[in-house]
Amino acid sequence: MMRRVLVAMCVALALSAGRAAATDRASEQKLDTALRARARAAQAPGAPWTTSRVIVRTVDGTPARDLIAAANGVSGRFFAWLGGQVARVPDATLEWLASQPEIAGLSLDRAVSGTLQNAASSVGARWVAERLGFDGKGVGVATIDSGVAGWHDDLDGRVAHFADFVGGQTGAYDDYGHGTHVAGIIAGSGRDSDGLRRGLAPGAHLVVLKALDTAGNGYTSNVIAAIDYAIAHRAAYNIRVINLSVAAGVYESYLKDPLTLAAKRAVDAGIVVVAAAGNNGRRNGEPEYGGIASPGNAPWVLTVGAVNEMGTDDRADDSVAGFSSRGSAIDRSAKPDLVAPGVGIESTAESSSALFAANPGSRLWGTTPTVTEPYLRLTGTSMSAPIVTAAIALMLEANPALTPNAIKAILQFTAEAHSGVDYLTQGAGFLNARGAVELARAFANSSSPWPLELTPDPVRWNRHIIWGRRRVPVPMLYAGANAWRLGVTWGDSRSANGEPIRWGIECPLSNEACSAQPGADPVLAIPGPTPGEVKR
């Protein structure tokens, strides 16, 4: 009898231990990889008392203030659309908080930072301005960065609105200087250089949303708040593009990451989100794959790597910059989407900023008398992203009806692919703003998709797009294809109503009787490392 009781007790204890282990595993799954590591470290004997800034998501989408308080945490802003509460929580209570049935997941409120010649001629933007007359007029561009020097001669009249998510100030300022450089690339007038260093879309107006501090750092929650602000004010300022020359670490799938999900909200609202790929393309002098930063790892974001123009306007000697982050992304989607100039880019400077003080050798004088040097020469995918953003502003002036997916497809289709460079390094190819604006104009006449009346382009279009993880050769894109509809995620195989995704024209280029065909175009695997070879 006693023996049976002891056996029963052992079985009960084993089952209890098993349930506890299962509970622990379930709780761990609610934490992203960074928070799991912090929670484990906090449990080690003699571990110091540490805290983490997190975003806590609830199952029913309501604020988690009471549970956060019970975990000895302090609550911050709440994102209703995400059901996510920003909080500062002790690392020792992370697992307990995750174990609560009301909690859907916790994400580290990650640090973000800026991802640090005139490229307009080499990408064809000057030709667009001089021959077609487009300069981005009427298009609103939101820059989420470190602010802007609104006093700068080149940016006079370019800033339509300013909002500060760091210091809460009302007047435009930029204590780091990164945002001012980005703003000049997009919409600078070039006034202090007699137009030589003007932006690619000087007619566009800027909505400047400050999310980085004086050191160029911030949190993903600040960037998310800025994205939400841009969505809420898109009609008032005709915001069609968001430029994110910032990068955050990737610790979870883009399907869970609050930052990538915020970007998706913007894209679903019809706003193109352009992000820098990051500067993680090399490790110990060798090419490194898998370094795409958030939110650029998401398929709905247009992710831009960097090109070295070698100081010339001739595209023939251009190459992908060694520092430019390569794909694939954490979910093995092919990234970047394309590459653009990002080495030695000359643009506007804020003379009282930290970036100006730290780069005395990069300062540049203009052609008009100024108290200090009005320009800086900087390098990074931070500079590549606004070049593409400005090209999009030109496209949208030419055809305001374009959707984010249509814009990405046109940019990829007209890009120039370089032989010997894999698609996880160059994306679909090198930016060709001239071709993109020409095709955007042709898309405006969607009732007659073939033949298109296009000016002969000296740049050879690669005539493919990278859809998800597939390279899709398309003889010609079709303006009415269902792939461009709002609500279709880049890479989907079917539309919301179950139709096969269509991209373009499937018959030979010489056949003028072409019609739109289902998405049965030849599909090739993306050259480059296999998933098992991608370094993390």
Token pair of 104 as six digits: 């859907």
- Residue 117 scores a pLDDT above 70: no
Comparing 6 with 297, the larger pLDDT belongs to 297
Percent above pLDDT 70 for the chain: 86
460 Cβ contact partners less than 8 Å away, ≥ 6 residues apart: 416
pLDDT band at residue 341, thresholds of 50, 70 and 90? Answer: very high
- Residue 238 scores a pLDDT above 70: yes
d(CA 333, CA 299): 7
pLDDT value at residue 515: 40
Comparing 521 with 64, the larger pLDDT belongs to 64
pLDDT value at residue 152: 96
The residue among 270, 269, 337 whose CA lies nearest residue 298 is 337
pLDDT value at residue 455: 64
| pLDDT average, residue stretch 319-341 | 89
- Residue 523 scores a pLDDT above 60: no
- Whether the Cβ atoms of residue 459 and residue 422 lie closer than 8 Å to each other: no
| pLDDT average, residue stretch 235-240 | 98
- The predicted-structure confidence for 173-221, as pLDDT tens digits, reads as follows 999 999 999 999 999 999 999 989 999 999 999 999 999 999 999 999 9
347: β partners: 376
| pLDDT average, residue stretch 48-72 | 96
Q: Which positions are annotated as active-site residues?
A: 145, 178, 382
Residue 504 DSSP SS3: strand
- Residue 297 scores a pLDDT above 50: yes
Which architecture characterizes domain 113-443 according to CATH?
Answer: 3-Layer(aba) Sandwich (3.40)
The residue among 221, 231, 216 whose CA lies nearest residue 276 is 216
Residue 470 CB burial class (10 angstroms; 0-12, 13-18, ≥19): middle
pLDDT value at residue 376: 94
pLDDT value at residue 267: 98
> Any idea where the domains of the chain sit in the sequence?
30-109, 113-443
- The predicted-structure confidence for 440-479, as pLDDT tens digits, reads as follows 998 887 554 444 556 678 888 999 999 988 888 888 888 8
DSSP 285-333: TEE--S-PPBTTTSTTSEEEEEEE-TTSS-GGG-EE-TTS-----TT--
For the chain, give the mean pLDDT. Answer: 86
**Alpha carbon 521 to its chain's center:** 28
d(CA 326, CA 304): 10
Residue 530 CB burial class (10 angstroms; 0-12, 13-18, ≥19): exposed
- The predicted-structure confidence for 148-177, as pLDDT tens digits, reads as follows 998 999 999 999 999 999 999 999 999 999
pLDDT band at residue 115, thresholds of 50, 70 and 90? Answer: low
148 Cβ contact partners less than 8 Å away, ≥ 6 residues apart: 155, 159, 162, 172, 173, 174, 179, 180, 183, 206, 208, 350
- Residue 381 scores a pLDDT above 90: yes
CA distances from 363 to 192, 279, 317, 350, 387 (A): 14, 22, 26, 11, 20
d(CA 208, CA 141): 8
d(CA 63, CA 57): 8
Percent above pLDDT 90 for the chain: 67
Token pair of 229 as six digits: 């602000």
pLDDT band at residue 536, thresholds of 50, 70 and 90? Answer: very low
31: β partners: 106
**Alpha carbon 100 to its chain's center:** 33
pLDDT value at residue 329: 73
- Residue 51 scores a pLDDT above 60: yes
- Alpha helices (runs of H) in 364-485, residue ranges in sequence order: 381-398, 404-414, 423-426, 433-443
pLDDT band at residue 505, thresholds of 50, 70 and 90? Answer: low
- Residue 17 scores a pLDDT above 60: no
Q: What fold does the segment set 30-109 form as a domain? A: Alpha-Beta Plaits (3.30.70)
The single-letter DSSP state of residue 263 is H
- Whether the Cβ atoms of residue 483 and residue 348 lie closer than 8 Å to each other: no
